[in-house]
Amino acid sequence: MPETAAPMLSVRGVTKTFYPGTVNERRALVDVNLELAEGDFVTIIGSNGAGKSTLLNVIAGSLPVDSGAVVVDGRDVTRMHEHKRAAWLARVFQDPAAGTAPHLSIEENLAIAYNRGKPSTLALGLTRARRAVFREQLATLEQGLEDRMNHRVGLLSGGQRQALSLLMASFTHPKLLLLDEHTAALDPERAELVLRLTAQMVADQHLTAMMVTHNMDHALRLGNRLVMMHEGRIIHTLDAADKPTATVADLLDWFSHERGGMTDRTMLA
Amino acid sequence: MLGAVDQGLISAILAIGVFLTFRILNFADLTVDGSFATGTATSTILVFNGVPPVAAVAAGCLAGALAGGVTGLLHTKAHIDPLLASILVMMALYSINTHILWLGKDGIKRSSVALLGKPTLFTWLVKHQLRGTWVSIALIGLGVVVVLVLINWLLKTKFGLAVMATGDNPAMAQASGINTDNAKIATLMVSNGCVGLAGSLWAQYNSAAAVGDGTGWILIGLASVILGNAIFGTRYLWLATIGVVIGAILYRLAIFYALKQPFFDPNDTRLMSAVLVVLALVLTQWKGAQALVTQLSPWRKKNAPEPMTVAPNQFSPFAEADAAAQVVASGVPSDVRAA
């Protein structure tokens, strides 16, 4: 990666507090700074409530920041509405039901994703040419979905839906792909499949990506950088040089270091 | 009886509008009672003042669309609940509709206007005594087909997909770059445009309009949608919308025959409407009735691609429960939605 290039994503001093001034006040993000160069794939780990998902929501625009800035490819999107940012950002959610429209067919869902960042005009949503593209792309998922294009997405299994969500998120080549614990709701076998597809898509399309996960093994296996969060702060980072040699034991070590006497397992539960 | 079919076809245009909000957008829009009367008032007063009937109908349609737009703005920009936003507009429209009816060029403030001797869209039918015959059914039916084709085309466009996604999964729609506010406002405008159009035609068909014209039409629209969807399902958009038209005709026929019974009088129609909606809602939940309908409907068996694991009624009012059941069935805990 050329170090001189402008960062694809730049999070500058972002702070976010929920329920400020009440007894429930929770500082979800505290002066978070993060930069991703083009092609970076960062995995984010941390205990529950560390602010991982909040960080993704703030970048995607579904949550406003209290202070700080989010800059995507040189463009300040901090005050931009979520649906406008979606032109450059794509997400896959933890809940397989969240990223797709269950009562619409597979091809209709794909057509919506295909139109990402473009106006909803009165042109036909599905054409013969577009269906052919979809069929070809669906085949890469190895789920047999290419033969079920007019089936409703609600009929698919959780794993198939996440695979589809992944395809929908990636095939408009977003500047930034946000993955929010997208394998957490799947059984180990399906999680493995979706993970493999993720790695493949990010590599093939040279995407810049962020993946939140609870699974330290996944966090180490995927991506070239790693960020560890705790109580709204980034407490540890691994760059491209150090990440290949890091182990789960190292991660646990840093965690317990941060938490003093508390055991690793309770922290990560 | 054929007159009832005429009426059913005109109200079918309203029912298609209700289908757009209630089923596609998942938005309980009660503006209908107001925007229907806006349609009748606008088209009637314009004809009364000498405007050509076709232009008057177009204006009634536009006025309905504007009313829907206001509901949409109240909901999306002022963040008012759909039900409340539409009730507010419905109430406000009562006053506005009164003012519209006062716009007669003779300056007299009437609460109802009759189009005695004025030319309407239906003058030719009236002159040849063809209202309530197969001729009128064919002509009005042609108009309904045009609306059906337009709406089905609209839902197949990129805009239509955006609207369907907005109704089905708003979070996904936004994350896919869809401006859900605009999608809602536009759909409410198209829907109430249909309602205004139906009102305009209704007034010209009856050569009269009154302030209270709109009352109860949301129920008629809902009854038609629920009845039609119960018979034709919602798996295929074409069938679903045709079902809505047939539902509207069936509704009119049901009321027509009920009123022929000596123990009912016209005052009872609203009670009948309410009972009909309840019956349709309850029956569609009952598995026995679903099976019976499926057995009696050849198109369902022929087109059904596979046994449904999701409830057969797309966009059903119980879609949330269906989705939950689906999630449970696939072994995913239902409380995993990202914070």
Model ipTM value: 0.89
Indicate if the pLDDT at residue A177 is higher than 60: yes
Whether B146 is in a domain gets the answer yes
A247 occurs within a structural domain: yes
- Residue A74's H or E segment, with its range, is none
- CATH number of the domain within which B23 lies: 1.10.3470
Residue A135 lies in a domain: no
Cross-chain residue pair B161–A117, CB shorter than 8 Å? no
Per-residue pLDDT at B312:
36
Q: Confirm or reject contact between A111 and chain B (CB < 8 A).
A: yes
Rounded to a whole number, what is the distance in Å from the CA of A59 to chain B's nearest CA?
12
Relative to beta strand A41-46, strand A9-18 is: unpaired
CB atoms near residue B303 (< 10 Å): 12
Residue B220 lies in a domain: yes
B258 touches chain A (CB under 8 A): no
Q: Does A95 touch chain B (CB under 8 A)?
A: yes
CA distance B100 to B86: 20
Range of the structural domain that residue B308 is part of: 2-329
B337 domain residue, yes or no: no
Q: Is pLDDT above 70 for A48? A: yes
DSSP state of A254: H
Tell whether B174 is within 8 A of chain A (Cβ).
Answer: yes
Is B251 within the bounds of a domain?
Answer: yes
Alpha-carbon distance of A12 to A8, in angstroms, equals: 13
In this prediction, residue B292 carries a pLDDT of 73
Domain range for residue A192?
A: 9-100+157-268
Mean pLDDT of A105-125: 93
Choose the closest CB to A125 out of B156, B174, B179.
B156
Write out the DSSP string of A3-67.
TTSPPSEEEEEEEEEESTTSTT-EEEEEEEEEEE-TT-EEEEEE-TTSSHHHHHHHHHTSS--SE
Contact at CB, A91 and B333, closer than 8 angstroms? no
Residues linked to residue A91 through DSSP beta bridges, in sequence order: A178
Beta carbons of A101 and B165 less than 8 angstroms apart: yes
What is the per-residue pLDDT for A41?
A: 96
Q: How deeply is A58 buried, as exposed, middle or buried, from its count of CB atoms within 10 A (0-12, 13-18, 19+)?
A: buried
* C-alpha to C-alpha distances, B90 to A66, B14, B100, B111, B202, nearest whole angstrom: 39, 15, 15, 17, 19
User: Domain count of chain B?
Assistant: 1
Q: Which pLDDT tens digit goes with each residue over A3-47?
A: 456 899 999 999 999 999 898 899 999 999 999 999 999 999 998
- We report the CATH number of the domain holding residue A53 as 3.40.50.300
Nearest residue in A to B170, CA atom: A101
| In a domain? residue B335 | no
Residues of A whose CB is below 8 A from B161? 104, 108, 111-112, 115, 120, 125
Cβ–Cβ contact A107 with B under 8 A: no
Interface touch A125/B176, C-beta < 8 Å: no
pLDDT value at residue A4? 54
Give Cβ neighbours of residue A106 (< 8 Å, ≥ 6 apart): A134, A138, A145, A148, A149, A150, A151, A152, A153, A156, A164
**A24 touching B, CB under 8 A?**
no
Name which of B159, B172, B236, B337 to mutate to probe chain A: the one with the most chain A Cβ atoms within 10 A of its Cβ: B172
Residue B282 Cα distances to A241, B225, B279, angstroms: 65, 14, 5
Number of residues that this document lists for chain A: 269
Instruction: Name every chain B residue with its beta carbon within 8 A of the beta carbon of A87.
Output: 177
Q: Is residue B193 part of a domain?
A: yes
Rounded Cα distance between B243 and B221, Å, is: 12
Q: Supply B150's token pair.
A: 């337009």
Does some domain include residue B310? Answer: yes
- Residue listed under structure tokens 């197949």: B156
Residue A261 clears pLDDT 60, i.e. is over it: no
Would you call B319 an interface residue with chain A, using a CB distance cutoff of 8 Å?
yes
The residues in A 176-195 lying below 8 A from B, measured between CB atoms, are: 180-181, 184-187
* Domain tally, chain A: 1
Helices (H), chain B: 2-19, 32-48, 53-76, 82-101, 123-127, 134-156, 158-168, 170-175, 180-206, 217-232, 237-260, 269-285, 287-296, 298-303, 319-329
A238 occurs within a structural domain: yes
Residue B126 at interface with chain A, using a CB cutoff of 8 Å: no
pTM of the shown model: 0.87
Determine the Cα angle at A217 with ends A211 and A220, to 5°.
60
**Best mutation site among A109, A120, A128 for testing chain B: the one with the most B CBs within 10 Å?**
A120
pLDDT at B316 (0 to 100):
41
Mutate to test the interface with A, among B156, B169, B308, B310 (most CBs of A within 10 A): B169
- Count interface pairs A-B at CB distance under 8 A: 149
Cβ partners under 8 Å of residue B142, min gap 6: none
DSSP 8-class letter at A235 = E
pLDDT given at position B319: 45
B240 Cα to chain A: minimum distance (Å)? 14
Considering only the beta carbons, identify the residue of A86, A94, A126 that sits closest to B177: A86
Chain A interface, mutation test: which of B24, B77, B153, B330, most A Cβ atoms within 10 Å? B330
Say if residues A86 and B176 touch (Cβ distance below 8 Å): yes
Instruction: Assess if residue A105 is contained within a domain.
Output: no
DSSP B79: -
- A115 falls within a domain: no
Counting as low any pLDDT under 70, the low residues of chain B are: 293-339
Given this model, what pLDDT does residue B195 score?
A: 98
Q: pLDDT value at position B103?
A: 95
